[in-house]
Structure 1
Amino acid sequence: MTGFPLPQSDLSAAGLRAEQIDRLVALIERHIAEGRYPGAQIAIARHGSLALFRTFGNATLDRPADDRTLWLLYSNTKVVTAAALWVLAERGLFRFTDRVSDHVPAFARNGKRDVTVLQLLTHRGGFPNAVVPQKAWEDHALLKETVCDFSLEWTPGSKLAYHGLSAHWTAAVLIEALTGQDFREVIRETVIAPLGLQNELMVGLPKAAMARTADMHEPAEDGVRPIAENNTPAWKKAGLPGAGGYATARAMAALYQMMVNGGALGGTRLLAPRTLSYAIRNWTGDMVDEYMGMPMHRGIGPHLRGTTEGIRGLGGFASPRTFGHGGVGSSYCWGDPDSGVSFAYLTNCRIPDPWHSLRLDLVSNFVHSAII
């Protein structure tokens, strides 16, 4: 694993309290010993260097994980897809205040004409439960028809409710309309490859990379069991834009380093600071996300900590400007522009709340309390 864009450092040089990171490591080791999840990977970066990268446990029930293992990101993928749209907007292909139907005219069906890209990506589009069938994963003409046929559940902009898959399938159709290319290739060309992360961050896996993946699991009476539908070649290849990316933890920490560093990573500038300032802004105030049951302070991709009493995944101790995203029941990645720290925590078991959110608060707070 050579040529990674972040040079190796250590906790001391990065200004991180080793005793707090030791507590984090012990917590993860205890989780694995208890059978909570087969394996995990974490990475911490600061000021353009990788301070910690560590792999734990197994990728599958019978195969150890290693530093090359690719972990299913679930909804962490949403930030990767959003980043491609940030780049396309900076290139002048569209504006976030545009209507989706300005670029995909058929999307106007069923009352959706006035849904803006900003509403779409901040989970105010009005169709949180719309479904794309598996047969449309590779048939993108069918994908476009399916998305354009989505029906509204409420007036766009009037509510905030997490669109688990529907918004980012729509974003994929928008990307293809803007570029004339497969959305997976656009994400690779605009974000992943320029940052030098193409071997460790993928939305749509090539066949050669599939053997590196960790299986995703769920709790069972006798421990954990694989989630069959999330471990198939078809799932891995599809690269669901809101749920199907794969990465190493250090690749996600590097992606967030780019964001906390104002759009640059390892000498490569991907975006302007003002573009990021626009994208990673609290566009929804303290509106309660009806799915999450709390204010989520949505940006165009990540969400922010804000100053509410609680927040999902980012850690209660986080600076109000800390931003990030999670993967359902399994993971969280975030960046803190006030300290320059980025962090990725990836596991391979989808565990329901309340345990999931409680452990995320502990995990993230160990990192926040390590920052000097």
Structure 2
Amino acid sequence: MLSTAPAIDAAIAKATSDPYHNLPRAVFLAATSNDASLYEGKGGWARLPAEPVSNDVLEKEGEPITADSIFELYSATKLVAAIAVLQLVEQGKMRLEDDASKYVPELKDAKLFKGFDEDDNLILEDNATPITIEMLLTHTAGFQYFMFNPDVVKIAQKLGVHPLPNAEGAVREWVTKMPLMFKPGEHMVYGPNIDWVTLAVEAVSGKPLELYFKEHIFEPLGIHDMSFMPDSSQIFMAFIDEEDPSKPLAIRPNTPLSSTQHFGGAGLKGSPRSYLKILRMLLRGGELDGVRLLKKETVDLMFEDHLTTDQQRQELRVFGKDLFDPATRRATEPSRDLTYGIGGALTGKDLATGRGAGALTWSGMANTYWVVDREKDVAFVVWTNVIPFACQPIHDLWFDIETELYKGLA
């Protein structure tokens, strides 16, 4: 048993004691190479009344959270997508350096956005730079999410597509009609790049993404609760009022995502326990319970720096300043040494929590953080399904419980 488990239990209990004003729930699971359940902690509610109620009513009407509750993953989906791509690379069916238009023809016609003219029409230029599989995996291709650039919303409206590729009723064109916002290879810009690359997975494998994930990743790992499809047992989402955080959280079912066309950037639903299996497979070098999904050298590749310029690294550090290490929220400078591997960011050395150098990490928009730390031989998830992303209550809890985890490992 982890020696610091009681301290972690207490921190989770405190953070979830007032589910309408702090965190409605939190799940923290950790495992090592040889211990599938080093720590399991949870507190709060999977479902609860929309309006604040007394504890007595909450006990009667609320549904407690568990490690098997079904969460919205959002961008935690991207790690699964990266694994799928690397499986096909291992099989020789594609290469990281390949021009991705070989598999996704629409990339040949991708235009470069240059602005709007005096009549508010799009100014688009031809793109002469090949977009590689690796660029798409590392967010250096030049596509950008709408939440980081208001021009993307305006462009989508003019092109008649939805700015969120994974929204309900998605079609392929919601990704393929959108232009590049930057020249490929020049910048690290977070966007629907993984959505593009999983169109290549579908083309190469000949299978819809849902089926590919199921047959080649989930079923081999014994995962039966992870899918893009709607799940009636999915937990409620909680929304903090960003203008007045003192107000009670809004509690409601999440807005449905696509059950038709699927992309690897977001959309999966599943449990923390199942996701930890994926992380532990990576921690063990691509194998879990006698089943190998990736070669060790392929997993090693995920933990290498795949950004090619200091500018790209600095762009990631500014973007991810307080997203991938809870301690940096309390600092003034961007995360030191932060860079990007395959499947997620690689956090730096000497983190205040005790995390090892070069740990692979990412999250989803609703605060589903995950970490694979090979130096300290531990993988863990910190999940809440609260919006907005990187909100202070989750960072406060995350810092405390990660610190206690590493104390217990020392």
- Asked whether the two chains share a fold, i.e. TM above 0.5, the reply is yes
User: What whole-Å deviation, never above 9, does each CA across 1:307-331 have from its counterpart, x for those lacking one?
Assistant: 3x77xxxx74211132121122522
Contact 2:67 2:273 in 1 (8 A): no
User: What whole-Å deviation, never above 9, does each CA across 1:241-264 have from its counterpart, x for those lacking one?
Assistant: 222222222222221111111111
**Counterpart for residue 7 of structure 2:** 23
Q: TM-score, normalised by structure 1?
A: 0.82
Q: What pairs up with 1:141-290 in 2 under 5 angstroms?
A: 142-143=171-172, 145-163=173-191, 166-197=192-223, 199-200=224-225, 202-205=226-229, 210-220=231-241, 222-226=247-251, 230-232=254-256, 234-235=257-258, 241-284=264-307, 287-288=313-314, 289=316, 290=318
Q: TM-score, normalised by structure 2?
A: 0.75
Deviation at 1:302, TM superposition (A): 1.9
SS in 2 for 1:211: coil
Overall identity of the aligned pairs, in %: 23
Contact 1:325 1:333 in 2 (8 A): yes
CA separation in 2, counterparts of 1:278 and 1:119? 15
Aligned AA (1:194): P
Contact 2:73 2:364 in 1 (8 A): yes
**Counterpart for residue 25 of structure 2:** 39
Q: What pairs up with 1:118-133 in 2 under 5 angstroms?
A: 118-129=134-145, 133=162
CA separation in 1, counterparts of 2:291 and 2:404? 30
Aligned AA (1:39): R
Aligned AA (1:180): G
**Counterpart for residue 367 of structure 1:** 405
Q: What pairs up with 1:11-160 in 2 under 5 angstroms?
A: 11=1, 16=2, 18-19=3-4, 21-35=5-19, 36-49=22-35, 50-61=37-48, 62-109=62-109, 110=111, 111=127, 114-129=130-145, 133=162, 142-143=171-172, 145-160=173-188
CA separation in 2, counterparts of 1:76 and 1:191? 15
Aligned AA (1:51): L
Contact 1:99 1:114 in 2 (8 A): yes
Q: In the alignment, does 2:368 pair up with 1:342?
A: no
Q: In the alignment, does 2:365 pair up with 1:328?
A: yes
SS in 2 for 1:324: strand
> CA 1:138–1:217 in structure 2 vs 1: closer, same or farther (change >3 Å)?
closer
Q: Larger Cα Rg: Structure 1 or Structure 2?
A: 2
Gapped regions of structure 2 (runs ≥ 5): 49-61, 112-126, 146-151, 322-333
SS in 2 for 1:250: helix
**Counterpart for residue 121 of structure 2:** none
CA separation in 1, counterparts of 2:90 and 2:38? 31
Gapped regions of structure 1 (runs ≥ 5): 1-10
RMSD of aligned alpha carbons: 2.6
CA separation in 1, counterparts of 2:133 and 2:364? 22
> CA 1:52–1:316 in structure 2 vs 1: closer, same or farther (change >3 Å)?
closer
Deviation at 1:352, TM superposition (A): 4.6
**Counterpart for residue 8 of structure 1:** none
Contact 2:70 2:234 in 1 (8 A): yes
CA separation in 2, counterparts of 1:83 and 1:152? 25
Contact 1:204 1:240 in 2 (8 A): no
CA separation in 2, counterparts of 1:64 and 1:238? 32
SS in 2 for 1:333: strand
**Counterpart for residue 5 of structure 1:** none
CA separation in 1, counterparts of 2:174 and 2:357? 38
Aligned AA (1:298): Y
